[in-house]
Amino acid sequence: MTSKILITGGSGQLGYHLQQSAPAGSQLLCPGRDQLDLADTASICAYLEAQQPQAIINAGAYTAVDKAESEPELAARINGEAVAVLADYSAHHSCPLIQVSTDFVFNGEQGHPYLVDQATDPVSVYGQTKLAGETAALTSPLGRVLRTSWVYSEHGHNFVKTILRLAAERDQLAIVADQIGSPTYAANLATAVWQLLDLWPAQRCYHYSDAGVCSWYDFALAIVDESEALGLLNRRPELGPQRSEDYPTPAKRPHYSVMQTSNQALHLPAVHWRAALQTMLNRLSSQQ
């Protein structure tokens, strides 16, 4: 395992779990925005030159999917142009680069799991800029792309914690039921990232998500059920399914973004999303 590893987005969900699960002996570089600003090419270059990392995990991104529609230039700088700078460093310093990407690079229209080599067709600015980041990462011979989906954690802001907050405040919740995907616990995703960096197989692109498929409505039901059983909720709201067209958003979402995972290539077991959710909620409960 490479020892001096730069993790961008270290304060985010994945960044947190990458730090928690880092291999023994790793020297992690987890700069804040004041040290390395992904929206500022000069900032990135200066940091790389000063620190000379031996591997890079780019877990940082512009992830405000709806806001990206009104801030396309900023999203492009962070999700695309910044990766090009990282890839250039990777190529010239023989430095492995893992670019964490998203199911949003697909249009969600095919109705069965996407393979790693299928044609991409993002339907939002966020998806388009993340695809630009993939393309940039792969310009380096040591660039690898790891796509994931519906990430959540006990750390940071995410769908699980939003549902818990709303369930404590409201008697009724309407949840989109016609968008289908695979929730992924950030701790499991971190394991996949470290495994990829350790194995470094020849394949250039990988998919990782927890096993199983559900809608956002199914996911919300499971969150409420499991949280109620653990005592994280002292009241149960009524949950109802909702169509995407009844809840318009600035950015279009893929209706089906399930991906065929690369677990076999990464020598990883399949963990069902419901089991992973239970693990996360148990950890959250123990913190309270």
Encode pLDDT of 246-260 as tens digits.
Answer: 989 999 999 999 999
Query: 27-62 burial, b if ≥16 CB within 10 A, otherwise e?
Result: ebbbbeeeebbbbbeebbeebbeeeebbbbbbbbbb
- The whole-angstrom separation of Cα 284 and Cα 280 is 6
Domain count, the chain: 1
Look up residue 278 and give its two tokens.
């239970």
Closest residue by Cα to residue 149 from 204, 206, 225:
206
Closest residue by Cα to residue 208 from 217, 216, 199:
199
Q: Is residue 19 part of a domain?
A: yes
Beta strands in the chain (DSSP E): 4-8, 27-29, 55-58, 97-102, 143-148, 151-152, 172-176, 180-181, 184-185, 205-207, 214-215, 238-242
Domain of residue 270 covers 4-215+246-287
Q: How far is CA 105 from CA 41, 146, 254, in A?
A: 24, 12, 9
pLDDT in tens, 133-181: 999 999 999 999 999 999 999 999 999 999 999 999 999 999 999 999 9
Question: 22: helix, coil or strand?
Answer: coil
Residue 195 has what pLDDT?
97
Is the CB of residue 146 less than 8 Å from the CB of residue 100? yes
Instruction: Give the total residue count for the chain.
Output: 288
Q: Is residue 53 part of a domain?
A: yes
| The pLDDT of residue 69 is above 70 | yes
To the query of whether residue 126 is one of the catalytic residues in this protein, the response is: yes
Give the active site residue among 47, 89, 126, 152.
Answer: 126
- The whole-angstrom separation of Cα 92 and Cα 139 is 11
- Which residue's entry shows tokens 């998500």? 209
| The pLDDT of residue 40 is above 60 | yes
pTM of the model: 0.97
- Which residue's entry shows tokens 């809608």? 215
Q: What are phi and psi of 8, to 5 degrees?
A: -80, 155
Q: Is residue 239 part of a domain?
A: no
Q: How far is CA 176 from CA 52, 169, 180, 242, 274, in A?
A: 45, 19, 9, 5, 18
- Residues facing residue 55 across a β-bridge: 5
Residue 235 has what pLDDT?
87
| The pLDDT of residue 2 is above 90 | no
Residue 79 has what pLDDT?
98
* CATH number, domain containing residue 253: 3.40.50.720
Q: Is residue 231 part of a domain?
A: no
Q: Is residue 184 part of a domain?
A: yes
Residue bearing the bigger pLDDT, 180 or 2: 180
Q: Is residue 85 part of a domain?
A: yes
Residue type, 60: G
Q: Is residue 235 part of a domain?
A: no
Q: Is residue 275 part of a domain?
A: yes
Residue partners of 27: CB distance under 8 A and separation at least 6: 3, 4, 5
Average pLDDT across the chain, whole number: 96
Q: What are phi and psi of 147, to 5 degrees?
A: -90, 145
Residue 120 DSSP label = P
